[in-house]
Structure 1
Amino acid sequence: MTSTPKACRVELAGQQIELLPDPALWWPAERVLFIADLHLGKAATYRALGQPVPSGTTQANLARLDRLIDRHAPGEIVFLGDFLHAAQARTSQLLAAVEAWRDRHPALACTLVRGNHDSRAGDPPASLRIGVVDEPHPVGPFAACHHPQRQPARFVLAGHVHPTLKLHGRGRDSVRLPCFVQEGDQLILPAFGEFTGGWRVDAAPDRRLYAVGGDAVWKV
């Protein structure tokens, strides 16, 4: 029996938002999903360089996207940069898998805010019907960005740094988890993609951390 994922509800820019454990951000009033750092093809890029890294990450990422779409029925997904990892990721196998994913959701609007990896990998093929824009991209009261930054009059949603935190248990026990990071009028999303690594974020007086573990998100 599969448990129901537990989102963490927060208010950002006067809007009720859900931080999802997939991880993603859900804006229910406008039916928009925000997803950061998919990095499709990262493992394939490393394998092309002769590194013995796991395969199957692309299908795992796309399957998680399918589950999110089935659960929330969004009208739009906004990708906050780094959709493809590198030019080496543009293999016929990967592009065919992404085409098949897109064909499963033909009515879904998709927008990519270009990130630093997108500038090297190139824009997604036109056949994927993904609109491509530069940051900051206004979405209601939000500025959809890839790089963390400040934008006047808008609340920034960003990615890029793949934030994680370290929780300590008894003795020397500890665990490292992806996290959402809020600082002022900015929220940084954890990386959605498998095999992406992360940057450790420490607690600070003006910083709110939301850990992602299993099927839940909670404030730390």
Structure 2
Amino acid sequence: MTITSQGEELILDKERALFLPKHQLLAISDLHLGKSAHFRQAGLQVPSTIAKSDLQRLSLLIEKYQPKTLLINGDMFHHGLNTDIDDFSIWKQQYTDLNFLLVKGNHDQLSANNYKDLGIEIHEPSFCLSPFCFIHDAPKHTNEELYPISGHIHPGVSIVGKAKQRLKFPCFYFGKDHAILPAFSLFTGLYNIQPKTNERIFAITPEKVIEV
């Protein structure tokens, strides 16, 4: 789905990604690589295919939009170094011409050398690209000149179906003061958003993105 925000065209993709055509920038949030491996280390039976599935989805997005820059808006890595991050390092080798930027989130705790070795450019606390400013957690005080785009809370929205069943979907949120990206990883929960007047919510269904 294509929308206009702050006078600029944005593409909301059903694979939980945002594309800025003007800047050739693909943005995602809350990738949480390493989360499944971290849970397995703790003895929980979590499938080892989760991270590989997320990276495969990301590959399809890169192929689709051909961006110059991939921006991860926080929580790229869930914990310390583990096998999921080894898989990422191997996966990344096929994208030598793509700039990888990370706006650090609360789970991004690797050392500066780790990020450097992985070829990831770090921005903290934000990466601004007028008229937008990407920041992991929604700011308490906004810069009137730039519109913040955050992540962190894994936004979702409930929709009542034809049979009166309540369905919950991840979503994009665009409010007066800031926007929130959905969590990219499929291995995350959802925080239910209750939209207010003049706020726009775009639910991500299996088929497409729809405004609700």
TM-score bucket (shorter structure): over 0.9
Q: How does 1:14-163 map to 2 (within 5 A)?
A: 14-87=7-80, 90-91=81-82, 93-118=83-108, 120-122=109-111, 124-149=114-139, 150-163=142-155
Matched, 1:216 2:208: yes
CA contact (8 A) 2:103 2:127 kept: yes
Q: Secondary structure at the match of 1:161?
A: coil
Residue among 119, 140, 160 paired with 1:168: 160
Sequence identity (%): 30
Counterpart amino acid of 1:114? K
Q: Which residue of 2 aligns with 1:203?
A: 195
CA contact (8 A) 2:33 2:85 kept: no
TM-score (normalised: structure 1): 0.90
Q: Which residue of 2 aligns with 1:194?
A: 186
Give the number of aligned pairs. 209
Once the two structures are TM-superposed, the CA of residue 135 in structure 1 deviates from its matched residue by 2.0
CA contact (8 A) 2:16 2:184 kept: yes
TM-score (normalised: structure 2): 0.93
Q: Which residue of 2 aligns with 1:180?
A: 172
Q: Over residues 160-183 of structure 1, what are the superposed CA-to-partner deviations in whole Å (9 max), with x where a residue is unaligned? A: 000001111134412110000111
Counterpart amino acid of 2:175? E
Once the two structures are TM-superposed, the CA of residue 152 in structure 1 deviates from its matched residue by 2.6
Once the two structures are TM-superposed, the CA of residue 122 in structure 1 deviates from its matched residue by 4.5
CA contact (8 A) 1:78 1:110 kept: yes
Once the two structures are TM-superposed, the CA of residue 151 in structure 1 deviates from its matched residue by 2.4
Once the two structures are TM-superposed, the CA of residue 210 in structure 1 deviates from its matched residue by 0.2
Q: Secondary structure at the match of 1:143?
A: strand
CA contact (8 A) 2:34 2:85 kept: no
Q: Secondary structure at the match of 2:117?
A: helix
CA contact (8 A) 2:2 2:11 kept: yes
- Structure 1 residues 9 and 151: CA distance shift in structure 2, 3 A: same
Q: Secondary structure at the match of 2:93?
A: helix
Once the two structures are TM-superposed, the CA of residue 209 in structure 1 deviates from its matched residue by 0.5
**1: CA distance, partners of 2:9 / 2:126:** 21
**1: CA distance, partners of 2:6 / 2:40:** 42
CA contact (8 A) 1:40 1:83 kept: yes
Q: Secondary structure at the match of 1:99?
A: helix
Q: Secondary structure at the match of 1:179?
A: strand
Once the two structures are TM-superposed, the CA of residue 194 in structure 1 deviates from its matched residue by 2.0
Q: Which residue of 2 aligns with 1:5?
A: none
Once the two structures are TM-superposed, the CA of residue 53 in structure 1 deviates from its matched residue by 2.2
